[in-house]
Amino acid sequence: MLFPKRMPKRPLYLIIPPQLLVLAIVIFPLLWAIYISFHSWNPTISPERRFVGIANYIAVLKDERFLASLGRMLYYSGVGVTIQLVLGTLIALALVEYIRSERLRTFALVVFLLPMMMAEAVVAQMWTLLVTDTGTINNILVWLGFSPIGWRTQKLALTTLMIVDIWQWTSLPLLIAYAARISVPERLLESARLDGASKFLILRKIILPYMRVPLAIAFLLRFMDSYKFLDKVFIMTYGGPGTATELPTFYLYQTAFSYFNVGYAASMSWIFGIMAVVAMLIFWRLTKRA
Amino acid sequence: MRKYLFVLVALLVVATFSLGEAKIKLFLPPGEKNPDVDFSGITLRAIHDSGAGRILEWYAPLLEKECGVKIERTEMVDLPRLREKVMGDLLAGKPSWQIIEINPRFIADFALTGLIEPLDSYFEMFDPEDVKKYLDDIIPTYREFYMKWGGHYWAIPFDGDIHLFNYRKSFFENPKYQEMFKAQFGKELQPPETWDDFVDLAKFFKENVLPPDMYSTMWWLLPPDGSVFYFDIAASYGVRYFSDDMEHALWPRDKAVAALKKMVETEPYCPPGVSNFGFTETVDYWLAGKVVFQIWFIDINEWGQMGQPEVKGDVANALIPGYRDPETGVVTHRAMAPYNRFWIIPKNLPEKVKQAAFYVMLRVSSPVYSIYSVADTYCGMDPYLYSHFTDEAAAQYTKPNPLRGVAPDWPENIPTFSTFEEARKHLDGGLANLAVAFPEINWPGATEYTESLSRWVQRAMSGEVTPEEAIEKAAEEWEAIRDKLGKEKQKEYYKEFLEAGRRVGFWD
C-alpha cells in the first residue's frame, strides 16, 4: 500500500511542485548527462553530437591520467580523512576529559571550529602565502635553524594540500565526536568508575562504542567532501607540478571546461559517481557489520 | 539624342543605387556626434577578465554622444574562468553580453560553435578607406593570427601582448659588476643576445652578487602558459609546433630538447618552487625586487613604476635573447605574442544590437580612443597598433588620460611614466620584440596542446623527468590530441596557420 488509509490525500498535492522542481534541476540534468555520455561532443570542434555507444566509458577506464588521478584521490581521501577523524576524536575527548570549565570548553570548541567556517577559496589563498618557498612557514623553519621545505614540489604538493584540508576540516569530525562524547550517559561512566575500570577500559568499552556510528557518519561526510575536492587544487597548485596534484575532480573540470570534451567528461563523471556510491555502500555495510 | 538621354538616366540610376547608405567615419574625434549612425535605445553590456579594466565604462558618455548607445557596467570575471563562463553562456543560447572578451588562443573554439558572428560584413558599415587604414595599422601578428581564422574576421583587438627581456638597470650598469662579469666570462655585462648569455648572466648574479633571498631570473610555468614561455626559447631554436605535414609534434625534436635543456639550466638561479610560478608569483617577486631579470609581458615595465622603491624607475626592457646558429653565426630571436584581449560578438542578437556592438568595439579599438587606453595604468591594455608606438603615443604615457575622469572603480588618473624618454624606451622595447613576434597556437585544441606541454615543461623544471623525456612525452601527447580531434581537420587548420605565417614573413 502506497499510503496509509488514514492519511489525508490533500497534502499530497502540496508536495508536487517541489517534486517537479527536483525533477527539473536534479533528475533531468542527470539523465541529460547519461545521454551526452554516449555521444562524442565537443562544441568547440563541431556543434554536432555523434552517437558512440559505450566508447567514452571504455576510453575513460583506459585513460592513464584518470586512473592516476584516482590513485591520488585514494591516498588523499584515505589518509587525509582518517587523520581528520582521529585528530578530531582526540581533541573532542581531550576537551571533555581535561577542561572542566564549561566556558573555557565552549571557547576552545569555537576556536577549533573557526577554520571550518572559512571559505575554501580564502583558506587556499591564505595557505598559498604560507607555503610558498619563501613563505611564512619556511621563514620560521629557517629562523629555527632548519632547512626550508619545498611544500609545493613534485613530492610534497599533494601532502601539502592534504595538510591544508586537515587544518580546515578536522573541525567537522571534532564537532560530531564532541556531540557523541557528551551524549554518553554519565551514570554508565560513573558505574564503571565505581567498579574500578581504568580510563582506557572505559574509553574502549563504553565511550568508543557509543561514538562509533556518529564517527562513521563523520567519516562518510568527509569522504564525500573529499570526493569533490577542487577549490584548493585549483587555487594552490592547478593540478601541478605536472599532474602531481591532479585529482579526478580537477581532471574532470579540465576535460569539461578547458577542453570542452563534454561527452567524455559526462561519462567520466558517471563512472566517478558510480564509484562513489559503491564505495559508500561498502563502507556503510562494513560499519553496520562492525 | 534619345539614346544619350537613356544612357544618362541609366547612369543616374546606377549612381543612386551605388551610393546606398552613407558609410560611417571611423576616425572622428571622441565624443563627436557621428552623423551617419544612430543606435539610440540600444544598451550594451560587456564581459571582461578582471585585469582588463573598465574601458567601455570610461568612454560610455562619449560613445553615447556619438551614436546614442548606452553602455552598462561591465561584468568582470577571473581570467581562468572567462572562457568557460562565456562558452557556457553562449551554448545556453541566450547571450548575457553583447560584447565579449576572449583570448585569441580560443578564437577557433568559439568560431566552430557557430555561436559567434563573423565580422567581415560589419566592416562594410564603415568607410572602406578608414577600414583599410585601421587594418593596416594593426601589427600583422595580431591581424593575421588572432583576428582571423578560417578565412573570416572574428575578433577586434583591444589589447596586444608581447614577451620581452625585462631587467633591473642598476644591476647591469654597476661598474663593479661589469668588471667582475668581464673577468669571469670575457664579455660585456649587458642584456643577453643569446640564451647562452642569459644562462651566464643568471649564473653570474646568483653566484657572485645576490643575497640568498634574491634570484637572477624566474619563469611563469603554471599551465597553460608555461609552454608559451618555453616557446620563447624553442621558437628561436627553430622549433615549430608541428612539422609542416603535421606528422611530428615539436619539430625538429632535437632542437626542442635543446631548448628545454637551456631552460632547465636556468633553474638553479630561480626562486625555489619556480615550477609552480604563475602570474601572481612572477609579478610579486618582480615588484618586490627579488629578481634581476625575466622574460615577461610588456606590462611589467609599467607596473615596475609602482613597485618597491628599489624597483621603481629601475626597470628596463630589451630584445628577447635568441639562438645563435653554430654554422652561420646568425642569431634568431623569437618573442612569443601570447594572451592578448580581443572582442567578439555573439550570433543570437538582433542585427541592430550587433551593429551597435561592432561600432563600439571598432571605435574603442581604433587609435582615436586606444592611444589613451594603452597608456593608462588603470587598465591592462598594451599596444597593438603601429600608431601606439609613435612619439605622440609615447608622450601620452606621461599624461593623464584626457577621455576619463575618476570614479570609485578608477580612483586616480595619473601618468604611467614620469619622462618621455622612459616611455619611448618602453615602446621601443615592445616594437623590437614585435618585429620578431611568434604566434601562439590559434587552431582548435589550443588549450589541450598548451596545457599538455606546460605540464611536461613543469616536470622537467622540477627535475621529475629529463628534458628528453619531457619533450618525447609531450610530443606523444600532442600527436594523440591531434588524432583525437581529427587528424585531417587538424592538418587543414595547421596548414592555414603556416600560410598566415608566410603572409607576414615569419617563415618560408
Query: B493 near B108, Cβ under 8 Å?
Result: yes
Q: Is there a contact between A47 and B112 if contact means CB atoms under 8 Å apart?
A: yes
A34-85 confidence digits (pLDDT tens): 999 999 999 988 888 999 999 999 999 999 999 999 999 999 989 999 999 9
Q: Does A260 touch chain B (CB under 8 A)?
A: yes
What is the rounded distance in angstroms from the CA atom of residue B304 to the CA atom of residue A219?
A: 50
Residues of A in contact with B275 (CB under 8 A): 153-154, 240-241
What is the rounded distance in angstroms from the CA atom of residue B188 to the CA atom of residue B43?
A: 59
Query: A262 near A36, Cβ under 8 Å?
Result: yes
State the Cα torsion B501-B505-B506-B508 to the nearest 10°: 90
Chain B residues 429-448 with CB within 8 Å of chain A: 444-445, 447-448
Q: Is there a contact between A242 and B448 if contact means CB atoms under 8 Å apart?
A: no
Q: Is there a contact between B272 and A148 if contact means CB atoms under 8 Å apart?
A: yes
What chain A residue is nearest to B223 in terms of C-alpha separation? Answer: A238
> pLDDT value at position B304?
76
Q: Does B350 touch chain A (CB under 8 A)?
A: no
> pLDDT value at position B311?
87
Query: B165 near B321, Cβ under 8 Å?
Result: yes
B193-208 confidence digits (pLDDT tens): 999 999 999 999 999 9
A45, A230, A231, A253, best to mutate vs chain B, most B CBs in 10 Å = A45
Q: Does B111 touch chain A (CB under 8 A)?
A: no
Residues of A in contact with B223 (CB under 8 A): 238-240
Residues of B in contact with A260 (CB under 8 A): 87, 109
Residues of B in contact with A242 (CB under 8 A): 455-456, 458-459, 462, 464
Q: Does B466 touch chain A (CB under 8 A)?
A: no
Parts of chain B with a pLDDT under 70: 1-21, 306-307
Q: Shortest CA distance to A177 belongs to which of A141, A216, A136, A124?
A: A216
Nearest C-alpha of chain B: how many angstroms from A77? 23
A120-170 confidence digits (pLDDT tens): 999 999 999 999 887 899 999 999 999 889 898 888 999 999 999 999 999
Cβ atoms < 10 Å from Cβ of B31: 15
**E strand or H helix at A214, and its extent?**
helix A208-227
Residues of A in contact with B273 (CB under 8 A): 132-133, 150-153
Show the cell assigned to A276: 562513489
| Those residues with Cβ within 8 angstroms of residue B100's Cβ, 6 or more apart along the chain or in another chain | B46, B47, B86, B116, B343, B344, B345, B346
pTM: 0.88
Residues of A in contact with B79 (CB under 8 A): none
> pLDDT value at position B18?
42
What chain A residue is nearest to B477 in terms of C-alpha separation? Answer: A65
The strand ranges marked E within B252-306 are: 293-297
Amino acid letter, B476: E
Q: Does A18 touch chain B (CB under 8 A)?
A: no
> pLDDT value at position A5?
61
Residues of A in contact with B108 (CB under 8 A): 44
Q: Does B456 touch chain A (CB under 8 A)?
A: yes
Q: At residue B215, what are phi and psi to the nearest 5 degrees?
A: -135, 155
Q: Is there a contact between B445 and A152 if contact means CB atoms under 8 Å apart?
A: no
> pLDDT value at position B239?
97
What is the rounded distance in angstroms from the CA atom of residue A21 to the CA atom of residue A19?
A: 5
> pLDDT value at position B19?
40
Predicted confidence (pLDDT) at residue A13 exceeds the cutoff of 60: yes
Query: B44 near B69, Cβ under 8 Å?
Result: yes
Predicted confidence (pLDDT) at residue A245 exceeds the cutoff of 70: yes
Q: Is there a contact between A133 and B451 if contact means CB atoms under 8 Å apart?
A: no
